[in-house]
Amino acid sequence: MESSNAYHNLHGESSKGFIGLGAENHHVPRDEVNKQLSQRTESFARDGSDEVKPSKKKGEKKIRKPRFAFQTRSQVDILDDGYRWRKYGQKAVKNNKFPRSYYRCTYQGCNVKKQVQRLTKDEAIVVTTYEGMHTHQIEKPTDNFEHILSQMQIYTPF
């Protein structure tokens, strides 16, 4: 409904949640996460693939699907951005020994997709690709990181 508003939302949310609080990840020690915070080198790139379907329905929806990828230097695959994600698939990619994970936002009416991929050459680099925009606020408990993340002003060019 609020498609135009949603885009504004995207901008607002972008500056809110980003680097995951891998602290809850028992797979990686906290120290690593802390290091990631100071060593993080994120790069965002907007993909030009707005329309996934060239021509399906006639006057359906000409809403372009925003898709941006983040390159984060982290040892954790799961970058919690403050939303709840449900993994719905995991496939191996050619030219890559590491599999790609597919996540989906588990919110009513929120069909935001996200996929995480690791680089073959650099295992330390995790590429997170977001597809779509959230139509709700972040559903995360006390996020101390939010304050820190608020300092990160990411602007989505369009």
Of 4-12, 41-49, 102-110, 143-151, which segment contacts DNA by CB under 7 A? Answer: 102-110
When asked if residue 106 is in the footprint of DNA (CB under 7 A), the reply is: yes
Instruction: Give the separation between CA 141 and CA 75, rounded to whole angstroms.
Output: 23
Size of residue set near DNA by CB under 7 A: 18
11 vs 98 by CB, closer to DNA: 98
Q: How far apart are the first and last CA of the chain?
A: 21
Cβ-contact 42, 21 below 8 angstroms: no
The one-letter amino acid at 126: V
Binding mask 48-87 for DNA (x = CB under 7 A): ------------------------------------xxxx
Task: State yes or no: residue 113 binds DNA (CB under 7 A).
Answer: yes
Q: Does 43 bind DNA (CB under 7 A)?
A: no
Question: In this structure, what are the phi and psi dihedrals at residue 18, rounded to the nearest 5 degrees?
Answer: -150, -90
Do the beta carbons of residue 17 and residue 140 sit within 8 Å?
Answer: yes
89 touches DNA (CB under 7 A): yes
DSSP label at residue 46? E
CB atoms within 10 A of CB 128: 25
137 counts as binding DNA under rule CB under 7 A: no
Q: Is 130 in the site for DNA (CB under 7 A)?
A: no
Q: Which of 69, 65, 15, 20 lies closest to 40 in space, CA to CA? A: 20
The token pair that represents 112 in the structure block = 């935001």
Residue from 90, 120, 137, 150 touching DNA (CB under 7 A): that is 90
Only one of the segments 13-21, 43-51, 62-70, 98-106 lies at the binding site for DNA (rule: CB under 7 A); that segment is 98-106
List interacting residues with DNA (CB under 7 A). Answer: 84-91, 93-94, 100-104, 106, 113, 115
